[in-house]
């Protein structure tokens, strides 16, 4: 019987041992990888915050909207309805016309004396305009918009329309600053400090944010204006106290009132 040379037998044995070592190293590496994964998962479970929500837990309660969030959902048309309390107890209970801090006047304000002068229809240069805001039920309060347009009174009134009556002065006359009446100054900053307007604007003005630029484009500036209540297209007798200057400040609180 032939025998293999000693060198061949040794080589085969070495090859077999090397293959076994390679196999064992592979197995060890796989086991170590599995152990590392288990360790990582265990640590992750231990470090999970205690406030973590289980899969079968009830959904979290919805956060209640704060006042500013719900206010954004209120439409401008909703401001047209006079509160019941005001109808029963009088103008002082109409919260829409309460004063609140608003933006500072961005242009020269007209003086109280000149506003009174124009309330009495003594300045023949004063021109009346009517502004309308269409679909005000779709327009949120506290937001400026370009939905205001000059109308002539022949248009159809539709649900949700807002109307403003405006008394205006042509820009040329306002630039000249001459009231046409001796002793009456046109602008508030020309008055003595004790006679200047210190009132804040009304809530309804700040909420509607009327756009008077359409009147300015026509060559006029607003002296005073009136917001008509729901469904109204003309001024009523009990609306005298609601007139405001161009910055939303009540003329009635300034002592300005149309003389009968």
The answer for residues whose C-beta is within 8 angstroms of residue 198's C-beta and 6 or more apart is: none
Share of the chain above pLDDT 90, in %: 50
Say how far apart CA 16 and CA 48 lie, in whole Å: 49
Query: Residues 179, 185: contact at Cβ < 8 Å?
Result: yes
The answer for residues whose C-beta is within 8 angstroms of residue 208's C-beta and 6 or more apart is: 76, 79, 133, 141, 162, 227
Instruction: Give pLDDT, residue 5.
Output: 54
Is the confidence at residue 172, as pLDDT, over 80? Answer: yes
Task: Kindly give the residue spans of alpha helices, DSSP state H, lying in the chain.
Answer: 6-47, 67-72, 84-89, 112-119, 171-176, 203-208, 213-217, 251-254
Task: Tell me the pLDDT tens digit for each residue of 182-232.
Answer: 999 999 999 999 999 999 999 999 999 999 999 999 999 999 999 998 777
Q: Report CA 226 to chain centroid distance, whole Å.
A: 22
Is the confidence at residue 32, as pLDDT, over 70? Answer: no
User: Among 44-58, 66-80, 175-189, which stretch is predicted with the lowest mean pLDDT?
Assistant: 44-58
pTM, 2 dp = 0.69
Say how far apart CA 168 and CA 208 lie, in whole Å: 19
Query: Residues 83, 94: contact at Cβ < 8 Å?
Result: yes
Instruction: Give pLDDT, residue 233.
Output: 78
Band of residue 105 on the pLDDT scale cut at 50, 70, 90: confident
- Report the 3 state secondary structure along 75-144: EHHHHHCCCHHHHHHCHHHCHHHCECCCCCCCCCCECHHHHHHHHCCCCCCCEEEEEEECCHHHCECCCC
User: Among 32-41, 120-129, 248-257, which stretch is predicted with the lowest mean pLDDT?
Assistant: 32-41
Is the confidence at residue 177, as pLDDT, over 60? Answer: yes
Residue bearing tokens 């042509």: 170
Q: Using only the alpha carbons of the chain, give its radius of gyration.
A: 40
């Amino acid at each position: 019987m032939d025998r293999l040379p000693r060198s061949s037998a040794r080589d085969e044995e070495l090859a077999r041992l090397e293959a076994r070592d390679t196999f064992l190293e592979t197995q060890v590496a796989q086991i170590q990888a599995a152990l590392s994964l288990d360790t990582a998962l265990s640590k992750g479970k231990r470090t999970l915050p205690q406030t973590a929500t289980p899969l079968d837990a009830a959904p979290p309660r919805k956060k209640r909207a704060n006042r500013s969030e719900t206010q954004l959902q209120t439409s401008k048309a909703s401001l047209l309805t006079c509160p019941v309390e005001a109808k029963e107890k009088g103008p002082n209970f109409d919260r829409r016309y309460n004063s609140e801090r608003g933006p500072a006047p961005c242009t020269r304000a007209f003086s109280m004396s000149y506003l009174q002068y124009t309330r009495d229809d003594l300045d023949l240069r004063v021109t009346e305009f009517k502004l309308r805001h269409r679909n005000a039920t779709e327009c949120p309060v506290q937001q400026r918009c370009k939905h205001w347009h000059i109308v002539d009174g022949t248009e159809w009134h539709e649900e949700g329309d807002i109307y403003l009556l405006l008394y205006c002065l042509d820009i040329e006359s306002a630039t000249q600053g001459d009231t046409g009446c001796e002793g009456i100054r046109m602008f508030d900053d020309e008055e003595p400090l004790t006679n200047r307007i210190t009132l804040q604007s009304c809530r309804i003005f700040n909420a509607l944010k009327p756009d008077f630029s359409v009147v300015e484009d026509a060559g006029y500036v607003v002296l005073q204006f009136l917001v008509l209540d729901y469904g109204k297209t003309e001024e009523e007798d009990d609306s005298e106290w609601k007139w405001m200057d161009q910055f939303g400040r009540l003329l009635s609180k300034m002592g300005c009132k149309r003389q009968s």
